[in-house]
Chain A
Amino acid sequence: MAAEPKPRRFRAIHLLLLVPYAAMLWVPSYNRVEPALAGIPFFYWYQMLWIVLGVAVLIPVYFADERSGK
């Protein structure tokens, strides 16, 4: 074990990865019918929207990691 690498550094931007968990596991925040979107109850379109938001959260984390060359 010659060159022990730097210990894993905690990166604050990784906290973003927890945001979808807060949004999706708090079920009462989206368990309703109104406002419906094009006839689709809120419950369904809001969770579908979070698929996109989940990606939106991953992208900055990805670029931060790639920049730091990890």
Chain B
Amino acid sequence: MTPNTTAIAVFIVLFLFVTVLGFVAARWRRGDLNELSEWGLGGRRFGTIVTWFLLGGDLYTAYTFIAVPAVLFGAGASGFFAVPYTILVYPFVYAVFPRLWSVARAKGYVTAADFVRGRFGNGTLALAVAVTGIVATMPYIALQLVGMEVVIAGLGIDMNPTLPLIGQVHDFPLIIAFVVLAVYTYNSGLRAPALIAVVKDLLLYVTVIAAVIIIPAELGGFGKIFAAADPKTVILPAATATSLGAQSAYATLALGSTLALFLYPHAVTGLLSSSSRHVIRRNAVVLPAYSFALGLIALLGTMAVAAGVKAMPEYAEGFKAFGNNFAVPALILKMFPSWFVGVAFAAIAIGALVPAAIMSIACANLFTRNIYREYLDPDCPPKREAQVAKIVSLVVKLGALFFVIELPSTYAIQLQLLGGIIIIQTLPSVVMGLYTNWFNPWALLVGWAAGIGSGVAMAYANGFKTSTYVLNFFGLQVPCYAALSSLVLNLIVGAALSWLFNAVLRTPPSDATVEADYA
């Protein structure tokens, strides 16, 4: 691809601007960054507006904005499940997660695993929750890099330049971007992505609004856009007498993703950094603004079909390298003037930095609190705790970088698909735990193992290509998101064994919290 000079200039200016912001953030609402709750949770001081930007930047990631329209581009209606998913998540957050905030504040918890440790008095269960969180998040960070790679390549920047003295370096621009990210995250902690998220979201909304006004007008209206799409995939195929088909897959993907989202460590970190439970409730009401943007962005996939970018020789190289993930960048390149391409691509690339920073901070919090302090250095002072977290955040990002550079991106995509299936298995411990300590921790652990085992087995049976596994009920085929069906098994095992253990052992619950902590 030929370099697009104007777009590259705009892109670099915006990128430099957020880099400066990332370093300045350390001074914003200044706190003692040698405390884990200051570095890793921004001092739990973010109000409604900052939390709105932070969670918006955290949950609606660059990869989402590349991958969701890519599914609509390639497969049609089934990719739109992201919309009901992000509708359903907010009533759930509203009802459940203010309780987690309150108990975390009352007891000084920084992670979901901290809470499980306190609620059930069982370090092994807490360790399982922590490790699940880290394993589920790592490929997610790698995918943010994939999102960034797509737009940098779209700008026509040489990804593998030959440098003086060193020779050819693969993915050089990506390495630069990530090193910068790693340094200011180390320096400023959660304050950096919180501040950068404001810029990213403003760029994003400008891009989305311009795209939905200009592109349909250029293409002759939505009627023509949908007429160009494959009529078989404009809506989901109907159910038959023997199979519910794509419709049950659609509904279970929406529900399972809803239940899984706020179990991810980066989502928990975003929630716990808010200044009160009221902030969480208000955000459940105002965050759907991002869902609307996501819905519009999803439709860019259909617009890309109508624009016919796949057949155009100038984008062939991009499609060859990134598959359908190149659909949105190609559409933007075709439809907008160069300077605006720079703005739009910067929105996506910065949109990768924000979640990548929060995810690495969340993993660092988990490792430090629930592995390092729990097992390796129980007496560590707060300053060393914060120092360990900062270093772990670097290691995590380097790991993700290595992953993307050394392995094909399909690995990251498949692992992220597994991420949803495994993170949802912490739901009984975390979400049920917010309401009752009736469950026995060992029973929860066995349920967790059963859920992970069955979920991974289902994904394996699909060759890790899709996360919907066809269940068979008396001859009726029901494609179901493996996260949801394995969660049901997890819950049944956890509840049955809890009932058994409670009846036989009669061990009283070892609960460090009281009901007043949750209000």
A contacts, CB < 8 Å to B: 1, 3-5, 7-8, 14, 17-18, 20-21, 24-28, 31-33, 36, 38-41, 43-44, 47-48, 50-52, 54-55, 57-59, 61-62, 65-66, 70
Contact = CB atoms under 8 A, between A and B. Distances in A.
A8 B282 CA distance: 21
A1 B515 CA distance: 10
Given A43-B235, A54-B288, A21 B91 contact: yes
A61 to B, nearest CB: 7
Can you list the 9 inter-chain pairs with the closest CB atoms, starting with the nearest? Answer: A39-B223, A39-B222, A17-B91, A24-B84, A27-B247, A54-B87, A25-B251, A43-B235, A40-B222
Contacts of A52: 288, 292
B344 interface: no
Contacts of B278: 66
**Residue of B224, B285, B516 with most chain A CB atoms under a 10 A cut-off:** B285
B297 to A, nearest CB: 12
A65 B95 CA distance: 11
Given A20-B91, A57-B91, A31 B238 contact: yes
A62 B285 contact: yes
Contact of A43 (B88, B91, B95, B234): B234
B65 interface: no
B226 A32 contact: no
B77 interface: yes
Nearest to B249: A27
Interface residues of B, number: 43
A27 B251 contact: yes
B293 to A, nearest CB: 10
Given A18-B91, A24-B87, A54-B91, 12 more contacts: A4-B514, A4-B516, A20-B88, A21-B255, A24-B84, A25-B251, A27-B248, A31-B238, A44-B80, A44-B295, A48-B83, A65-B281
A26 to B, nearest CB: 8
A1 to B, nearest CB: 6
Contacts of B284: 58, 62
B282 A62 contact: yes
Contact of B235 (A31, A48, A55): A31
B90 interface: yes
A55 B77 contact: no
B250 interface: yes
B209 interface: no
10 contacts: A17-B94, A20-B88, A24-B84, A39-B224, A41-B226, A50-B84, A51-B86, A52-B292, A58-B90, A70-B519
Nearest to B216: A39
A24 B254 contact: yes
A51 B87 contact: yes
A43 B516 contact: no
Contacts of B187: none
Given A24-B87, A65-B281, A39 B514 contact: no
Interface string B283-309: 011001001100100010000000000
A54 B221 CA distance: 27
Interface string B89-102: 01110110000000
B225 interface: yes
Contacts of A38: 221-223
B239 interface: yes
B234 A41 contact: yes
A12 B457 CA distance: 40
Contacts of A26: 251
**Residue of B87, B234, B250 with most chain A CB atoms under a 10 A cut-off:** B87
B73 to A, nearest CB: 14
Contact of A20 (B87, B248, B251, B515): B87
B236 interface: yes
A17 B88 CA distance: 9
A55 B299 CA distance: 21
A61 B88 CA distance: 15
A32 B77 CA distance: 11
A47 B225 contact: no
A33 B239 contact: no
A51 B248 CA distance: 21
Nearest to B250: A27
Interface in B183-231: 221-226
A33 B222 CA distance: 13
Given A31-B247, A48-B83, A39 B88 contact: no
Nearest to B77: A43
B251 A47 contact: no
B234 A4 contact: no
Given A25-B251, A58-B90, A59-B285, A47 B95 contact: no
A41 B235 contact: yes
A51 B282 contact: no
Contact of A5 (B77, B292, B519): B519
A4 B235 CA distance: 53
Contacts of A3: 516
Nearest to B277: A70
A26 B248 CA distance: 9
A47 B84 contact: yes
